[in-house]
Structure 1
């Protein structure tokens, strides 16, 4: 296997005395994992921070062998993430990506979205913009993995007007009138997800509740649930409702 590609660092695990196994998101190959010799050295640790963009080269003699990887820094995003919300957002987005995606399964839309979000974080995007970006990324990830939400029309009446809820069972939108008697059992649908209003702090927290329900139910296995602490830290650092 020979691969030369731009990539985003998503996760790093120690391996041996100085090395590391690193998971990268690439535009054409999805998540790939490789062994970086000296990955925990003083020189490479700053490069292999989650969220950084790198030029990645991977080589393996056979497909079943863990590839040897070398990296060159192209976009230093992690060091430019300033503030608790920015750092927490970058930690959560990369951890979610590494945990949720299978290796060698291409998701070019997710690569573009994560690359844009990491760049926005490095450029100093505010907490509201970060919160909206995270909800939209989670929404996209659910769709890419086959667990997309149907927000096109009310599941009960078929109307496309005044959609306000989502059924936690069917993943379908519900209109305000149809859902009001069952509101306690439904999930709030933030208007910004369907282009009906701009995002504010309340709707961002509603969005996190919505996507979080389906991520926990459908995507994050027992192993992936270990990453949810990063999501909670992010929610706590966003503006309150």
Structure 2
């Protein structure tokens, strides 16, 4: 078995004395693992940092085997933002959440393209805050929990949407909420197309975080969310 693809480094874990198990989010083969021999070396290790883009060849005797990677660096995003803790935290959170949620060996070309675009935006520093919020919303959908912010779950169309049901992820209008408003999540304007202010981003990530933690994580074996996401929230709050 052998194929070639491009992908984003999600994680690289030590394997034995000199090798690493490299996890890539590839364009045509989804989230895929393999061994990189000599991956801890000074020559190879810098290319295997989360968020970097690699050209990779995967080989195995059988498709069911973990296999091995032969990789070449294409884009070193991590190195360009080492001096920016906020963007570095965002890149780390993106990769950690992909590794946590995405199914293994399932091609997701549209979402992979969106993730590459987000990583490029984080690396450039342009427009990534808004992109990250909507990327998390898309990630929830990939994980099987779609937020429906189109119309009020209690009836009344799409007018004056102000809340989200913490159970169903459906939008609720002020009139539809009634006396139940204090039991609902506040719907940030950003999630309806509003301005991407820092406070708005934090509010939106509180909403997506609720569904990641309370709805999606339990379906994945009750594992806690990756600490990298918490570090991103902490970094954003320091900026606020």
Structure 1 residues 49-64: aligned runs within 5 Å: 49-64=49-64
Unaligned regions of 5+ residues in structure 1, if any? none
> Partner of 2:47: helix, strand, or coil?
coil
In the alignment of these two chains, the number of paired residues is 236
* CA distance, structure 2, for counterparts of residue 60 and residue 219 of structure 1: 32
Instruction: Find the partner of 2:142 among 141, 144, 153.
Output: 144
CA contact (8 A) 2:20 2:37 kept: yes
Partners of 1:224 and 1:140 in 2: CA distance: 20
Report if aligned partners of 1:138, 1:211 keep a CA contact under 8 Å in 2: yes
Q: How many angstroms does 1:222 deviate by?
A: 5.2
Q: Which residue of 1 aligns with 2:162?
A: 164
Residue 131 of structure 2 corresponds to residue 133 of structure 1 = yes
Aligned equivalents of 1:96, 1:180: Cα separation in 2? 35
Moved more, 137-146 or 86-95: 137-146
Match of 1:199 in 2: 196
Give the structure 2 partner of residue 73 of structure 1: 73
CA distance in 1, matches of 2:159, 2:109: 32
Where in structure 2 are the equivalents of 1:1-241 lying within 5 Å? Answer: 1-81=1-81, 82-125=83-126, 129-179=127-177, 181-195=179-193, 197-220=194-217, 221=220, 224-225=223-224, 227=226, 229-238=227-236
Deviation, 1:180, is 5.2
Report SS of the residue matched to 2:11: strand
TM-score by length of 1: 0.92
Q: 3-state SS of the aligned residue for 1:102?
A: coil
2:207 & 2:222 partners in 1: Cα distance?
21
Question: RMSD across aligned C-alpha pairs, in angstroms?
Answer: 1.7
When the two structures are superposed, what TM-score results if normalisation uses the length of structure 2?
0.92
Q: Tell me: CA distance 1:122–1:4, structure 2 relative to 1, closer, same or farther (3 Å).
A: same
Q: Distance in 2 between matches of 1:181 and 1:204?
A: 27
Query: Shift of residue 31 of structure 1?
Result: 0.2
- In 2, distance between residues paired with 1:181 and 1:80? 50
1:55–1:73 contact (8 Å) kept in structure 2: yes
Gaps of 5+ in 2: none
- The answer to whether the 8 Å contact 1:100/1:224 transfers is no
- 1:80-113 deviation line (CA, Å, top 9, x unaligned): 1241110100111000001111111121122112
Pair 223,153 (structure 1): closer, same or farther in 2 beyond 3 Å: closer
Moved more, 114-123 or 184-193: 184-193
